[in-house]
Every structure is written in structure tokens, then in C-alpha cells.
Amino acid sequence: MHTPHADLESLYAEIVRRNSGEAEFHQAAREVLDSLGPVLAARPEFTEARLIERIAEPERQIMFRVPWVDDAGVIRVNRGFRVEFNSALGPYKGGLRFHPSVNLGIVKFLGFEQIFKNALTGLGIGGGKGGSDFDPHGRSDAEVMRFCQSFMTELHRHLGEHTDVPAGDIGVGSREIGYLFGQYRRITNRWEAGVLTGKGTGWGGSAARTEATGYGNVLFTAEMLRVRGEDLEGRQVVVSGSGNVAIYSIEKAQALGAHVVTASDSSGCVVDEKGIDAQLLKQIKEIERGRISEYAERRGGSARFVPGGSVWDVPADIALPSATQNELDAEAAKTLVRNGVKVVSEGANMPTTPGAVRILHEAGVAFGPGKAANAGGVATSALEMQQNSARHSWPFAKVEDELASIMRDIHTVCYETAERYGAPGDYVTGANIAGFERVAEAMLAQGVI
């Protein structure tokens, strides 16, 4: 008889063989499979039903050409993706990413993570992800509009509030969501507010959606500290990135009494001894779409810009990686541990490499994996869907209260699941098993589909 561990090794080898060259997807699959041995030992029916094989294979993968015309009249051609991974718990839900690095492997890694993240919210949403290798950076509003209209002209046929509900991700903010929604409405002749989330609050969007991923990550961090008898008050915090997740992580951490000293972008990082001025950062990044170096220039003497620098070199009690995948590697983790870090919680998707996770775990650092810690964004998207279906709009305070309650529940289920399977304090194991069990139970109930 095979042991579950041996079965998992052969399953992983088969995933790699069938999805060759998709390194990020392999990494995401490995990370989940490494946690599942105890579940398969306890629940042999999951193995008999070939649930892992079925979960690891998307229900549908869509790739398409996106032709558009730039401001100079030159025809450009990009590639569009939507991977509808698993709908056992509800319609596919997950963002669209517009970035030159986007390829099928990255979209599959994000979609696979999304299955378990969405399951953890308890809100009845399946997992999917999409995007394009289009780069909106430096493009005019007119170019972005023409690209979005071409992208949605193909994608619309696969969407619907009961089928697949995309949102934003890197490179897709309220501007892009607006153009995408406008084209969907134009083609379908339907005001179907629930087909996209991240909309403007004046036309079907939810208050607090912009803030939700960053706020949620800090709330999850606060819960990890609470069970250790600690809190955020007076803690030194380093945050990477300067996009939506980073900005609102900084804002919420400061509101809870933390001292946040860093932000970064692809050109380097800023260190601000007085604490990051969130309003100035928003002005530069959200309104002017400028570079992080401009923050140091305008902030004055307390801030310095480090070209090509890493926020992980700055001593801190808490680290919140909030930029992109695999940004915190083993060397950076060693530096953080050496400098006394107590908690690392992922605002971005899979920003910590497997080697870094291992080092943090061995050092006794509380580690919040993205599928749990950054689930506040998609949770608030699901709250937006609720408001849309009722043709109703909730005030900011109500959405924030719901978000806080959801993040507490996610922390509790991860914490308790880890304890139940003999891995107390291991949030990676807790999140992977809890998410997997919810999806697996639904798949088992619904038959071989």
C-alpha cells in the first residue's frame, strides 16, 4: 500500500510533467501538497475520488489574442488569459493582472492559490485568475481604454455573475475596471453589476474595497500577535511595495499604533525614520503615478531613497511583503531573523520563497501565508457581490466591520486546523488544509465532474 506521502510525490511529479515550464504553478502546487499528507491519511475517500488530481487541473483555460491600436496608430498585439480553476464552492472569482511578466504559469499559480484563499473566506466563491502581458505603465488613458475594450470583447463570453466574476490585480485598478465594465455592458446590453468587482463606489462598487487587502493583512497580523499575548502598538514595521496593498497596509498598521518605516518599488526603497507619510505616498503613487524616489525628495530630511535597496535590510518587529511573488528570499529571511523579526505576513501573493518560509518557520517567526492573510481583498469583493445582488450599498464602517469579522474567522480556522493536525502555530499547514477540506467536501458531494 502506498503512503500518502509517496502518493503526493508521484502526484507532484505528474503535475510538473503535465504543466512543463510553469515554475510558479509548480511552486504553488508543491506548497499546498506538502501540507496535505495528514488529511489524506485521515480521509482516504479524498484519495479514492482523485480530488487532488482534479483540483490541480483547471476546469477551463482560456487564452486569446488582444489586438489594439496605440496613440501613434500602430497596431499592437497582446495575449489574454483567464483560468477558471474550480467552481465547487461558487462562481469563479479572482483578479485580472496586466503586467509584462504575465504568462500561463503565473495565471495558473494565482488561480490555484485563489481556490483555497476563497474557500477560507467562507463566502461561497470559487477560484480563478486572469490577465494579460499588456503593460499599462506609461500608456495614455485612451490607449488603456482601447486595450481594455479589445480584451473584454473576447473575455465577456466567459463571464457572468453566476459564472465568473473578475476583479483587479497588479496593473488593473479602478480606471481599468471602469473601461472593462463599460465594454461588457455595451456588448451584452445588460447592467449586470455583479460581473466585475472593484467598481467605483458611485456605480456599484463597495466602500473599503480599495483598502481591503492591506487592511485585512494587518488585521490578520494583529490576530497572530493577539494569540501570543501581543499587539501592534509601538512595533517597527517594514512594508515592501507602494501599490494598493502596501499603501493600505501602512495606513492600517499606523492606525493600530505601529511605526512603519519603509515602502518600495522596482527602482529601490525609501526608509523614513519618522514613519511613512501615507498621504504623501498616495499622492505620488495613486494620483501622479510617480516613482518612490520622489517620496524621499518631497518628504525632507527624515526619508532617504536607496536605489536598488531592499526593505528587508531594515530592522523590524514585523515584515509585510506587499509587492509581488518571490520578493523575499532565503537571504532576506536570514537578515530579518537576525534583526529580530517576530511576524511576517504576506500582503502579496506568494511573495516569500519556499526557502525563506523554512527559515522563518525554524526561527519561530509567526508566518501568515497570503492565501489567509491577504484574503481580505477577495472577501470584500464577495461583499460587493452581495450588495450588487440586493441593489444596495453599505457604508464604509459596515464593510470594515464585516472585513474584520471575516479576517478573525480566517485566523481562527487556520489556527485551529493547524492544532487539529498536530502543527500548532503553523499557519501554512492550517490554511492549506482548511481551504482544501472545504473544497474537497463540496467536490465529493457533487460527483465526478
Domains held by the chain: number:
2
Across the range 50-58, mean pLDDT stands at 96
- Say if residues 192 and 182 touch (Cβ distance below 8 Å): no
Strand order from edge to edge, sheet including 268-272? 262-265, 268-272, 303-307
Residue 250 shares a structural domain with residue 309: yes
Closest C-alpha to 66, from 164, 136, 166, 170:
136
C-beta atoms surrounding 228 within 10 Å: 11
- Say if residues 408 and 379 touch (Cβ distance below 8 Å): no
Residue 142 shares a structural domain with residue 244: no
Q: What is the spatial distance between Cα 323 and Cα 347, in angstroms, rounded to a whole number? A: 8
Tell me the β-bridge partners of 405: none
Using CB atoms within 10 Å of the CB of residue 329, give its burial: 0 to 12 exposed, 13 to 18 middle, 19+ buried. Answer: middle
The pLDDT assigned to 44 comes to 94
The tens digit of pLDDT for each residue in 121-142 reads 999 999 999 999 999 999 999 9
Residue 6 shares a structural domain with residue 90: yes
Give DSSP secondary structure letters for 238-250. Answer: EE---SHHHHHHH
Across the range 53-81, mean pLDDT stands at 98
The pLDDT assigned to 289 comes to 87
Domain that holds residue 253: 211-364
The tens digit of pLDDT for each residue in 402-441 reads 999 999 999 999 999 999 999 999 999 999 999 999 999 9
Residues with active-site annotation: 129
Residue 218 shares a structural domain with residue 331: yes
Print burial letters for 9-36: b (CB count within 10 Å at least 16), e (below 16): eebbeebbeebeebebbbbbbebbbebb
Residue 178 shares a structural domain with residue 62: yes
The pLDDT assigned to 2 comes to 46
The pLDDT assigned to 300 comes to 87
Displacement of CA 164 from its chain's centroid (Å): 17
Domain membership flag for residue 257 = yes
Helix H or strand E segment including 132: strand 126-132
Domain membership flag for residue 278 = yes
Domain membership flag for residue 262 = yes
C-alpha cell at 194: 455583479
Across the range 272-277, mean pLDDT stands at 97
Across the range 244-254, mean pLDDT stands at 97
Binning pLDDT at 50, 70 and 90, where does residue 396 land?
A: very high
Residue 360 shares a structural domain with residue 431: no
The tens digit of pLDDT for each residue in 72-105 reads 999 999 999 999 999 999 999 999 999 999 999 9
CATH of the domain at 17: 3.40.50.10860
Residue 242 shares a structural domain with residue 348: yes
Q: Is the pLDDT of residue 12 over 90?
A: yes
Residue 179 shares a structural domain with residue 296: no
Domain membership flag for residue 385 = no
Q: Is the pLDDT of residue 3 over 70?
A: no
Q: Is the pLDDT of residue 35 over 50?
A: yes
Residue 245 shares a structural domain with residue 343: yes
The pLDDT assigned to 7 comes to 85
Q: What is the spatial distance between Cα 210 and Cα 172, in angstroms, rounded to a whole number? A: 12
Binning pLDDT at 50, 70 and 90, where does residue 1 land?
A: very low
Domain boundary among 364, 395, 417: 364
Residue 167 shares a structural domain with residue 219: no
CATH of the domain at 279: 3.40.50.720
Residue 26 shares a structural domain with residue 101: yes
Average pLDDT, the chain: 96
Q: Is the pLDDT of residue 6 over 80?
A: no
Residue 67 shares a structural domain with residue 151: yes
Binning pLDDT at 50, 70 and 90, where does residue 5 land?
A: low
Domain membership flag for residue 306 = yes
Binning pLDDT at 50, 70 and 90, where does residue 4 land?
A: low
C-beta atoms surrounding 62 within 10 Å: 18
Domain boundary among 320, 343, 364: 364
Domain membership flag for residue 390 = no
Q: What is the spatial distance between Cα 408 and Cα 121, in angstroms, rounded to a whole number? A: 10
C-beta atoms surrounding 234 within 10 Å: 9
Across the range 149-177, mean pLDDT stands at 96
Domain boundary among 341, 364, 387: 364
Domain membership flag for residue 170 = yes
Strand 164-168 relative to strand 366-368: parallel, antiparallel, unpaired?
unpaired
Domain membership flag for residue 375 = no
